[in-house]
Amino acid sequence: MAESQRGKRRLMGEINVVPYIDVMLVLLIIFMITAPLLTEGIRVDLPKAAAAPLDSHVNEPPLVLSIDAQGRLYLNVGASPKQPINDQTLLIRATAALRRAPERSVLVNGDQAVSYGRVVQAMVLLQQAGARKVGFQTDLPPKPPKAP
């Protein structure tokens, strides 16, 4: 009788996917929480200008160089994007990022209080790193009050 029961038992060929679904839901929640935190940058007081947005056909997020009022540089790539970096580090990180995606957009967030010379120095470093086009980020100017 033991042999007759053995012959009737079959191996299950199905995979239990419930644990995988649980893991995927946890990962989804983690990514949903951390994604907005990755887009934060350095606080700079951008100049006001009514400029048209730049076209970006590359899937990579833009490379953003921020320059605060004291002239410190921040780049949105690397292990610590909220830590100021020196000119050499900017050149190394920007070169690496632009080698991976040569058509990547490059944007400069320059505080309106920073000297023009410091912005030009940073742009020269971006050019040396391989940036083909550099754009400036601005805030929209305040709308004039409507006449009564």
143 vs 148: CA distance, rounded Å: 15
Smallest Cα–Cα separation from 86: which of 69, 71, 67, 73? 73
72 vs 87: CA distance, rounded Å: 9
How far is residue 47 CA from its own chain's centroid?
A: 22
Question: Is position 71 within any domain?
Answer: yes
66 vs 52: CA distance, rounded Å: 20
- What integer pLDDT is reported at residue 57 of this predicted model? 54
Question: Is position 22 within any domain?
Answer: yes
- What integer pLDDT is reported at residue 110 of this predicted model? 87
- Domain count of the chain? 2
Question: Is position 54 within any domain?
Answer: no
Q: Give yes or no: residues 77 and 33 share one domain.
A: no
- What integer pLDDT is reported at residue 87 of this predicted model? 92
Where residue 121 sits, what CATH number does that domain have?
Answer: 3.30.420.270
116 backbone φψ class: left, alpha, beta (φ>0; ψ -120 to 50) = alpha
Residue 22, domain extent: 2-38
Q: Report, as ranges of residue numbers, the positions in the chain whose pLDDT lies below 70.
A: 1-8, 36-59, 147-148
- What integer pLDDT is reported at residue 4 of this predicted model? 53
